[in-house]
Structure 1
Amino acid sequence: MTRRTRARTGTAAAVIGAVAALGGLQGSTADAQTVEDVSTPSRTCHGKQPNGSRAGLGAPEENTPLERTLRHVDKLAQGRHSAVFTGLVLDEDEVSVDIYRIPSKPFDTAVCEAAEKGVTLRLHDRDINEKDLHALVDLMSEDMNRWDGTFTMREVGPDGTGYLHVGVDDPDTAEPILRKFLGERNAKYLRVEYAPQAHLL
């Protein structure tokens, strides 16, 4: 699977009832279980930076134009543009990155100027940033026993596209309960899906 979401802060998802969490350390990648609903980018830009202009030490697969562009985008998203960054999804086959952010001309200009030749960036509009999505994750994760007897929550985390992914054993039962819990304002970011029970390998 070559379409991936990137979790830059914390884990990509919290797995309930398992020893290990999905995702990993800051800057790690995890296979996307769900790709967002089809979205039309508000802007598309094609890389113009010379290939290898930011090459450094590391494994060959970490020094491709896509990975170098991605590292630079990460730096921008963690720095002065963190208030507008929501998430991203990369497609290695297409050598492209879909970036989700609160519309910002300075951020858009900075990431487009960061792209190396051969890399395509597609920018999508969202109205929530990564920090606020993680706050919703924390809210849902702080007491995992509150829904005992109604459904089992198995994973929760931002999906990279501006939504809160929640994996449960019974989506039909869980979704209305979770929407009420989050409230009308935040429920629009919720995506509830079936997730199998995690097992140790």
Structure 2
Amino acid sequence: MSRRTRAGNGTAVAVLTAVVALGNLQGSTADAQTVEDVSTPSRTCQGKQPHGSVAGRGAPEENTPLERTLTHVDKLAHGRHSAVFTDLVLDEDEVSLDIYRIPSEPFDTAVCDAAEKGVTLRLHDRDINEKDLNTLLDLISEDMSRWDGTFTMRQVGLDGTGYIEIGVDDPGTAEPILRKAYGERNAKYLRVGYAAQAYLL
């Protein structure tokens, strides 16, 4: 099984742990989704840059082509192309990046041109950028105790592919309430599922 991590908020490599145990979500549209389940890429490109030629200048020799490509893509995504970037998922086993963005030829060209040999980039269409997705995430996070007595919201975080995963004790009750509360426009970004109560060890 591939180990997937995500880049975000200016961090080149950040483990996908927006919340504890998001992988425990069960019984909803959030069930064990893989990148392939979520969407089909609209464009795929193979890296052509010689090893060590991008972003990694001066970086430790142990850095891999995937890490160097990720560093450069992250700079593009949080720099001049931030208005179109949504999120990304890294797959070390496949030596690939799945990039979620609002379709943009300049961004697509820039990231494909940045990829080193041996690295595959898959570009997926979304209609929301990272800033707006994080704004919605913050709003939901601030409301975590709002629903007490109706259902319990236990976890909330980004899934890396342009959606917000919400873990609750009763998905059947929670999902229609949350979709109505945040509006039709935002509802399509929500993935509501069951999450067990978290306990401190």
TM-score normalised by the chain length of structure 2: 0.85
Q: Distance in 2 between matches of 1:26 and 1:94?
A: 18
Q: Distance in 2 between matches of 1:138 and 1:115?
A: 32
Deviation at 1:30?
2.0
Partner of 2:34: 35
Query: Which secondary structure does the structure 2 equivalent of 1:192 belong to?
Result: strand
Q: Distance in 2 between matches of 1:43 and 1:173?
A: 38
Give CA-to-partner distance per residue, 1:84-108, whole Å, 9 cap, x none: 0001111111101110000000000
Amino acid in structure 1 at the alignment position of 2:58: G
Residues matched between the structures, number: 185
Give CA-to-partner distance per residue, 1:149-176, whole Å, 9 cap, x none: 1111111122111111111111111101
Question: Alpha carbons of 1:156 and 1:135: their partners in 2 closer, same or farther (altered >3 Å)?
Answer: same
Unaligned 5+ runs, structure 2: 24-32
Partner of 1:141: 141
Partner of 2:117: 117
Structure with more contact order per residue of length (Cα contacts < 8 Å, sep ≥ 6): 2
Query: 8 Å contact 1:5–1:30 — kept in the other structure?
Result: yes
Deviation at 1:57?
3.5
Give CA-to-partner distance per residue, 1:128-187, whole Å, 9 cap, x none: 011111011111112322100111111112211111111111111110111011111110
User: How many percent of aligned residue pairs carry the same amino acid?
Assistant: 76
Query: 8 Å contact 1:81–1:107 — kept in the other structure?
Result: yes
Q: Distance in 1 between matches of 2:111 and 2:154?
A: 35
Q: Distance in 2 between matches of 1:155 and 1:197?
A: 9
Deviation at 1:5?
3.9
Deviation at 1:7?
4.4
Q: Distance in 2 between matches of 1:195 and 1:92?
A: 27
Unaligned 5+ runs, structure 1: 11-24
User: Root-mean-square deviation (CA), in Å?
Assistant: 2.0
Q: Distance in 2 between matches of 1:45 and 1:113?
A: 9
Partner of 2:30: none
Partner of 1:197: 197
